[in-house]
């Protein structure tokens, strides 16, 4: 155990806020931006709730100054945002679009003027549509396109941006995008999902190598969405095996190649009926395991799983069976009495500690950052316009404590980014799910700091839970 004050985080702990391009920017056709797979998908009837799209979203493209001022007001020390690939390199290959890059230059300058560290995600799901038309992530060439794009974005912003992550949640891009199809581009073919996974990881490794060669001092990493996993009944061999399989597909199939340079053998065997992993070429795993300066972890909840039972109905959305290639028969359970968020995700803060400690224990040392954590709740606006989101305040507080517990247990956690700064376009759920510390009235674009934002201001100010 490391000895630290129970309420305070180590000096220099980074308190940040996170967003993603398609979820907040809007300005979908402005200044040379061309469609991404999320434009196409959200404009396809039936793909998002209510037919919602990111056309306007939070109009952050025009209101970024106001949004940076909000961050400053909340005492946020770092801002994690993503670059929209089709804004800066329309079509996904060839020359860069100066107007698109200029937006991010203005944003970065604004952040630095407010002493907020810019933290760039190069890919948060908005693949240029042309690259999907050429085969998308199941096509190996997309990895090379990504590395080229990454190097050029770094060349434009690298003098002022020092922290870079390549991908946000490749699990979602690969399996929700190409296996279950509940996310863009909406394809439903498990072997493509696995090929997409490998090429996302390959693109990560190639980009890390290329940026490293250009800028040895840059801090480089990737963000994975990791889950705590439990068997429904720890005494049941079937449930234990279900937990092993889901841990394999959610966590280890990404952690192992990135940090250990290999795919987990048991998971490859689980997947043998779907893919022979013929997409892996000599040298790929070495590339994928290029040394990192940081690992970003997005943590939201725990999966409690059980052995197959044909009488139990399938779960909707990302727990849709086909989001889990080769383990479509595993049951996802909800524990009676455990509170859930508006996403129907169980609130499980100890799972965050468990996840951090597990990564620290089972993998080679790498500085860890929580790059997303937060909760959707159906907020109520009071007559005076305020939002007293007590449930979100409680969610955040419990997870701050969980981070603190992980540090006390020796996990090298250096920062935390709340998801999200603003209410925003929640993918297939459209605007129905609100994750923000700041409410957005989509009709007027008015921003209102919620109670959770006011609470976060106290946390950033005291570097912890005092006050
Ligand atoms: C994560 C995504 C992020 C947001 C949160 C709620 O999977 O990275 O964009 O949608 O979930």
Interval between CA 17 and ligand 1 midpoint (Å)? 13
Hey, what are 393's tokens? 């305040």
Among 169, 206, 346, 354, which one carries the catalytic annotation?
A: 169
Atom of ligand 1 nearest to the CA of 424: 10
- Taking CA atoms only, the protein residue closest to ligand 1 atom 10 is 426
Residue with tokens 């922290």: 163
* Tens of each residue's pLDDT in the chain, 467 residues: 455 666 899 999 999 999 999 999 999 999 999 999 999 999 999 999 999 999 999 999 999 999 999 999 999 999 999 999 999 999 999 999 999 999 999 999 999 999 999 999 999 999 999 999 999 999 999 999 999 999 999 999 999 999 999 999 999 999 999 999 999 999 999 999 999 999 999 999 999 999 999 999 999 999 999 999 999 999 999 999 999 999 999 999 999 999 999 999 999 999 999 999 999 999 999 999 999 999 999 999 999 999 988 777 666 666 788 999 999 999 999 888 999 999 999 999 999 999 999 999 999 999 999 999 999 999 999 999 999 999 999 999 999 999 999 999 999 999 999 999 999 999 999 999 999 999 999 999 999 999 999 999 999 999 999 85
Interval between CA 199 and ligand 1 midpoint (Å)? 21
Q: What span, in angstroms and rounded, lies between the C-alpha atoms of 265 and 50? A: 42
Atom of ligand 1 nearest to the CA of 168: 8
The dihedrals phi and psi of 414, each to the nearest 5 degrees, come to: -115, -10
Interval between CA 298 and ligand 1 midpoint (Å)? 8
Q: What span, in angstroms and rounded, lies between the C-alpha atoms of 263 and 248? A: 10
Atom of ligand 1 nearest to the CA of 343: 6
Interval between CA 311 and ligand 1 midpoint (Å)? 31
Q: What span, in angstroms and rounded, lies between the C-alpha atoms of 42 and 59? A: 17
Q: What span, in angstroms and rounded, lies between the C-alpha atoms of 464 and 458? A: 8
Interval between CA 409 and ligand 1 midpoint (Å)? 27
Q: Where are the domains of the chain?
A: 7-462
Q: What span, in angstroms and rounded, lies between the C-alpha atoms of 193 and 149? A: 22
| CATH node for 7-462 | 3.20.20.80
Residues with a CB atom less than 6 Å from ligand 1: 20, 23, 168-169, 172, 225, 298, 372, 419, 426-427, 435
372 catalytic residue (yes or no): yes
Which of 168, 222, 371, 419, when mutated, tests ligand 1's pocket best, judged by the most ligand atoms within 8 Å of its CB?
419
User: What is the pLDDT, as a whole number, of residue 260?
Assistant: 98
- Taking CA atoms only, the protein residue closest to ligand 1 atom 9 is 20
Atom of ligand 1 nearest to the CA of 172: 7
DSSP element (H, E) containing 65: helix 60-74
132 catalytic residue (yes or no): no
Q: Omega of the bond prior to 233 within 30 degrees of 0, cis?
A: no
Rounded to whole angstroms, what are the CA distances from 255 to 183, 248, 316, 385?
22, 10, 26, 44
Hey, what are 189's tokens? 């073919």
Beta-carbon count within 10 A of 291 CB:
11
| Binding site feature residues for substrate | 23, 124, 168, 300, 419, 426-427
Rounded to whole angstroms, what are the CA distances from 193 to 159, 257, 278?
36, 16, 13
């Amino acid at each position: 155990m490391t000895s630290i004050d129970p309420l305070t985080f180590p000096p220099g702990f980074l308190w940040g806020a996170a967003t993603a391009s398609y979820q907040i920017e809007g300005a979908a056709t402005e200044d040379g931006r061309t469609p991404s797979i999320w434009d196409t998908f959200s404009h396809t009837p039936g793909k998002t709730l209510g037919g919602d799209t990111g056309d306007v979203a939070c109009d952050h493209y025009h209101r970024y100054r106001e949004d940076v001022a909000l961050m400053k007001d909340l005492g946020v020390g770092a801002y994690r945002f993503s670059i929209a690939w089709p804004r800066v390199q329309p079509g996904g290959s060839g020359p860069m679009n100066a107007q698109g890059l200029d937006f991010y230059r203005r944003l970065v300058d604004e952040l630095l003027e407010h002493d907020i560290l810019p933290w760039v995600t190069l890919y948060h799901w908005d693949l240029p549509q042309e690259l999907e038309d050429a085969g998308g992530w199941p096509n190996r060439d997309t990895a090379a396109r990504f590395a080229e794009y990454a190097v050029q974005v770094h060349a434009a912003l690298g003098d002022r941006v020092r922290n870079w992550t390549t991908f946000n949640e490749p699990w979602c891009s690969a399996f929700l995008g190409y296996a279950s199809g509940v996310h863009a581009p909406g394809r439903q073919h498990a072997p493509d999902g696995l090929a997409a996974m490998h090429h996302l990881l390959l693109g990560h490794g190639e980009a890390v190598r290329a940026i490293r060669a250009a800028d040895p001092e840059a801090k480089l990493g990737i963000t994975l969405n990791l889950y705590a996993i439990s068997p429904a009944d720890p005494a049941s061999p079937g449930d234990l095996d279900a937990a092993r399989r889901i841990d394999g597909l959610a966590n280890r199939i990404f952690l192992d190649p990135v940090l250990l340079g290999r795919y987990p053998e048991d998971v490859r065997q689980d997947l043998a009926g779907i893919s022979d992993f013929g997409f892996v070429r000599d040298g790929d795993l070495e590339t994928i395991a290029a040394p990192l300066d940081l690992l970003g972890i997005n943590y939201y909840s725990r999966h409690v799983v059980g052995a197959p039972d044909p009488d139990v109905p399938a779960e909707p959305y990302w727990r849709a069976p086909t989001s889990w290639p080769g383990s479509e028969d595993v049951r996802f359970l909800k524990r009676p009495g455990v509170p859930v968020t508006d996403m129907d995700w169980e609130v499980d803060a100890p799972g965050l500690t468990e996840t951090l400690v597990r990564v620290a224990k089972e993998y080679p040392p790498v500085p860890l950052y929580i790059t997303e954590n937060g909760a959707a709740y159906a907020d109520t606006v009071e007559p005076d316009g305020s939002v007293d989101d007590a449930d979100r305040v409680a969610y955040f507080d419990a997870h701050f404590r969980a981070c603190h517990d992980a540090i006390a247990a020796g996990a090298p956690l250096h920062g935390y980014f709340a998801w999200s700064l603003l209410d925003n376009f929640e993918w297939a759920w459209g605007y129905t799910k609100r994750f923000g510390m700041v409410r957005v009235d989509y009709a007027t674009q008015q921003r209102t700091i919620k109670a959770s934002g006011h609470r976060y201001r106290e946390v950033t100010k005291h570097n912890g839970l005092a006050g």
